[in-house]
Structure 1
Amino acid sequence: MDTNQLWKDRFQYHIRMVSRYMRLIFNDHLAFAFIFFVAAFAYFYQAWLETVPDTFPVEWLMAVIVGSLLTYSPVRTFFKEADTVFLLPVENKLRPYIRNALVYSFVMQSYWIAIALFALTPLYLQIYDEVSARYMLVMIAFSLVLKVGNLISTWFMQKTRDMRSHYLDGIVRFVINGFMVYFLAIGAPLYACAGAVLLIGLNGFNYAYLFKRYTLPWDRLIDQEDAKLQMFYRIANMSTDVPDLKRKPKKRHGLVRLVTGRMPIRREQTFKYLYAITFIRSGDYFGMYLRLVALALFFVFWVPAFWGKVLFAVLFLFMSGFQFIAIYNHHRTVEWLKLYPVAADVRRKAVHQLILVIMVVQVVVTTIAFVWASDWLNALIYLSITAAFTVLFEAFYVRGRIQAFKG
């Protein structure tokens, strides 16, 4: 078996799949919102830099952010369930395949490190204005070398099923990575090199006591690969239908009882109840909503200008309403829903009400944040703007999108 060719085939299939969904994602209004967000963030980030005190701990911020990106180093293998039958006999011949997997993982994850360093560089140079451009290139190169070491360490750790060992390895590498980035930021590269020696020693220990002693845990590697693929599918499903998406509901009994406990048991409440527990228990929607609200709160407190706060808050309000229109088709493969003796308008109305409620809750939460971050008058202005935006968005945009759905 030519495992090198096997990797090329799976890599090409993966690229075609990702490209197809990315075109669908960024053909929608989400692309405009993303570009608008980046432009607005850059503008207010530049304005914020002018007010940063010289005592701002940028080196610790870099240590936490870049150290986390270095520590989190999963290896994409593209393994499938059938590999437990067809690749298990040739496990000792998979070295070219694994080498390509490490190279691909390094290239993809290096983008995030480069983006983080690119975003943090203006802040870093604001505090350390004597640093040269050559030293910044050294920091980037050193970080990429550290990423290689972390990827190798992560792959060596894959051989063990002991999760305590995985957690311990992650904590140790995070501490080492964080301090290496910190020492680089304060201009002490020799201490950073000492940390690199520790990372090399950790890799040697993992290789001798784990990698050489055990075989590949195929079931665990396949589950990890499937989890990464499903994560991408969940993101794509916010903009288009993804037939291969697997949905794993979460319990959240207390929150379900809190939301549905007072709903009257009537026919017209059928889909309101269904979509309420779908929003709460699905692994897609509730977590995404909390993250969007958290980001809106962050920018309300971080952006200095009032209209900048309003701009970001409205942007994330739009993203909340836009993302959850897809909940209408969440149960599209469940045929028995068509047997409900309920009109289709009741189903559409339930989705309208759900989106209206989550947007109103977000408006209330961010308005309270405006009171703390600004004053009552600005909070009332923001409330008026977002209330009007919510009503118009739900009445026109959401209604048009839902009416376009079939069924």
Structure 2
Amino acid sequence: MTDQSISIELWRKRKHEFAKVIVPYLMYMARSGFPAVLALVGILAALQYVDLIQNVPPDLPIAWIGAIILTPLVCYSPFRSYLKEADVIFLMPMEHKLKSYLKMAHIRSFRNSSGLLLSVLLIFWPLYRQSDGYIGIWIAVILVLVKLINANFAWQERRMAWDQHRTIIRLLRWLLMFVVVLGWLMRVSILTTAIVTISVVALLFTLYRSFKKQGFPWRRLIEEEKLSLRRIYSFFSWFIDIQGEAPNVKQRRYLGWLIRLVPYRKSSTFIYLHVITFVRTEIGGICIRLVLLGALVNYMIADNDGMMGWGAVISFVLFGLIVSLQLSTLRKAHRHAIWKDIFPLSVHLQQRQLIAVDQILLYIMLAILLVGTFPMWNIGYATQLILMLIFLLAYPMLRAKRLQTVLRKEEELD
């Protein structure tokens, strides 16, 4: 076998090994009922979207909406290399033989991300057809070409030697690509938009050539692979207790005030532990994104009087359940830590404080989701509002009792 055939075979082997690990988790997720919840949310969103398409406001900024939705999909180019820490020792000596390995990774990345872009564009299409800048199927061709150029730029960013340069040039690229996508969606002038696009690409190409780059960004690719695995395991931890990669820790200064609210004393040990775990790990990051997305969806449904207000109730409850499902991973974050058996701290104290933290955080997030429904806060929706308030007040208490039972059973098994 040639060197390139060996690298292709290595790529396929790594990809197959990853699939073998993930498939069982997919089966657990399928049995959890989560796909059914997503289907309900999708049906609800589709009903609202169909109503919007049939009654498009004349002043609706379709081009701006499309640019906001499509630009991240055009610019973002995830790259799964399946590289591991040990590869720095065992594969680095044959770095010059890995061209086919990288080629397979590039093809997979571009194929998957382009498929996602075209899928979202297909959903956006009925609204786009009603805009003044409609140019038919050419918009898909243009976006895929721009996506290909961005995939190349993203790879150049991974090769940059300094993180500061990478951050600055990436931000600039995203801003300029927003202008390009917006220009094509508005189609003020095809010639002018084409000139702007070529100028932006030429400017970025010149800038990328001016930065110092590495030949093969081993460290960057391994760190990205670790981050991808952490996100995947964090998602599957909603449904089953797994031990994956070490959690990704971030400061999140905008949530640091939550940590400072915890009294610095022995009796608050586990409150502090679980609050700081929520704030600085991906558990909190996912919860925050879900809450913001849910509040936005609730607002859109409430503002459009979806299903006479009942659409907002369904959306509020569904997002509340999804957020609580993600929050449930907090109790598993330190389940396998040995320090609990070393320090003289009460297991019952840990359980009580974990339940308290879980309940308080859930109350806060449900309150934010409820705020998103403020367009229907009037006497005409009294029944719907009362039901949402009952859910907000009762569900965290019922969940706390359930969590107490689960923790007690786990203690007995241990």
Query: Following the alignment from structure 2 to structure 1, what is the Cα–Cα distance between the partners of residues 369 and 339?
Result: 39
Q: How far is the alpha carbon of 1:100 from its aligned partner? A: 0.9
Pairing 1:258-277 to 2, within 5 Å after superposition: 258=261, 260-261=262-263, 265-266=266-267, 271-277=270-276
Specify the alignment match of 1:162 in structure 2.
162
Specify the alignment match of 1:296 in structure 2.
294
2:88 matches 1:87 = no
Specify the alignment match of 1:216 in structure 2.
216
Which stretch of the first structure deviates more once superposed, 16-25 or 293-302? 16-25
1:59 to 54, 63, 78: 63
Q: How far is the alpha carbon of 1:256 from its aligned partner? A: 1.0
2:126 matches 1:125 = no
Q: Is the 8 Å Cα contact of residues 234 and 245 (structure 1) preserved in structure 2?
A: no
Specify the alignment match of 2:233 in structure 1.
233
Specify the alignment match of 1:100 in structure 2.
104
1:323 to 310, 322, 326: 326
Q: Is the 8 Å Cα contact of residues 331 and 354 (structure 2) preserved in structure 1?
A: yes
Query: Following the alignment from structure 2 to structure 1, what is the Cα–Cα distance between the partners of residues 339 and 137?
Result: 60
Q: Is the 8 Å Cα contact of residues 298 and 372 (structure 2) preserved in structure 1?
A: yes
Give the structure-2-normalised TM-score.
0.83
2:258 matches 1:255 = yes
Q: How far is the alpha carbon of 1:149 from its aligned partner? A: 1.5
Specify the alignment match of 2:390 in structure 1.
384
Q: What secondary structure sits across from 2:129 in the alignment?
A: helix
Size of the alignment, in residue pairs? 396
RMSD over aligned Cα, in angstroms? 3.1
Q: How far is the alpha carbon of 1:312 from its aligned partner? A: 1.1
Specify the alignment match of 2:285 in structure 1.
287
Which stretch of the first structure deviates more once superposed, 200-209 or 350-359? 200-209
2:310 matches 1:311 = no
Query: Following the alignment from structure 1 to structure 2, what is the Cα–Cα distance between the partners of residues 291 and 118?
Result: 24
Q: How far is the alpha carbon of 1:155 from its aligned partner? A: 1.6
Q: How far is the alpha carbon of 1:368 from its aligned partner? A: 4.2
The verdict on how the C-alpha distance between 1:152 and 1:365 changes in structure 2, with shifts beyond 3 A counting, is closer
Q: How far is the alpha carbon of 1:102 from its aligned partner? A: 0.7
Q: What secondary structure sits across from 1:384 in the alignment?
A: helix
For residues 58-111 of structure 1, the C-alpha deviation after alignment (integer angstroms, 9 at most, x for no partner) is 112222321222112233222222222233233222221121111010112123
Q: Is the 8 Å Cα contact of residues 180 and 191 (structure 1) preserved in structure 2?
A: no
2:78 matches 1:77 = no
Query: Following the alignment from structure 2 to structure 1, what is the Cα–Cα distance between the partners of residues 248 and 72?
Result: 27
Which stretch of the first structure deviates more once superposed, 135-144 or 106-115? 135-144
Q: Is the 8 Å Cα contact of residues 231 and 282 (structure 2) preserved in structure 1?
A: no
Which stretch of the first structure deviates more once superposed, 318-327 or 372-381? 372-381
Specify the alignment match of 1:246 in structure 2.
246
Amino acid at match of 2:293: L
The verdict on how the C-alpha distance between 1:366 and 1:89 changes in structure 2, with shifts beyond 3 A counting, is closer
For residues 166-215 of structure 1, the C-alpha deviation after alignment (integer angstroms, 9 at most, x for no partner) is 2343244334432332233234544454355346535754786568x742
The verdict on how the C-alpha distance between 1:394 and 1:42 changes in structure 2, with shifts beyond 3 A counting, is farther
Specify every segment of 5 or more residues in structure 1 that has no aligned partner in the other structure, as ranges: none
Query: Following the alignment from structure 1 to structure 2, what is the Cα–Cα distance between the partners of residues 121 and 76?
Result: 29
The verdict on how the C-alpha distance between 1:19 and 1:210 changes in structure 2, with shifts beyond 3 A counting, is farther
% identical equivalent positions: 22
Query: Following the alignment from structure 1 to structure 2, what is the Cα–Cα distance between the partners of residues 369 and 197?
Result: 41
Query: Following the alignment from structure 1 to structure 2, what is the Cα–Cα distance between the partners of residues 284 and 270?
Result: 21
Q: How far is the alpha carbon of 1:314 from its aligned partner? A: 1.2
Q: How far is the alpha carbon of 1:229 from its aligned partner? A: 2.1
Q: How far is the alpha carbon of 1:248 from its aligned partner? A: 4.0
Q: How far is the alpha carbon of 1:147 from its aligned partner? A: 1.6
Query: Following the alignment from structure 2 to structure 1, what is the Cα–Cα distance between the partners of residues 206 and 272?
Result: 54
Query: Following the alignment from structure 2 to structure 1, what is the Cα–Cα distance between the partners of residues 25 and 136?
Result: 36
The verdict on how the C-alpha distance between 1:355 and 1:45 changes in structure 2, with shifts beyond 3 A counting, is farther
Specify the alignment match of 1:278 in structure 2.
277
Query: Following the alignment from structure 1 to structure 2, what is the Cα–Cα distance between the partners of residues 237 and 36?
Result: 22
Specify the alignment match of 2:39 in structure 1.
35
Q: How far is the alpha carbon of 1:113 from its aligned partner? A: 0.7
The verdict on how the C-alpha distance between 1:395 and 1:13 changes in structure 2, with shifts beyond 3 A counting, is same
Specify every segment of 5 or more residues in structure 2 that has no aligned partner in the other structure, as ranges: none
Specify the alignment match of 1:363 in structure 2.
366
The verdict on how the C-alpha distance between 1:44 and 1:154 changes in structure 2, with shifts beyond 3 A counting, is same
Q: Is the 8 Å Cα contact of residues 78 and 109 (structure 2) preserved in structure 1?
A: yes
Q: What secondary structure sits across from 1:70 in the alignment?
A: helix
Q: Is the 8 Å Cα contact of residues 233 and 242 (structure 1) preserved in structure 2?
A: yes
Amino acid at match of 1:387: L
Query: Following the alignment from structure 1 to structure 2, what is the Cα–Cα distance between the partners of residues 51 and 385?
Result: 33
For residues 223-276 of structure 1, the C-alpha deviation after alignment (integer angstroms, 9 at most, x for no partner) is 222222222222222322232220244456542121x12x8754xx55444333
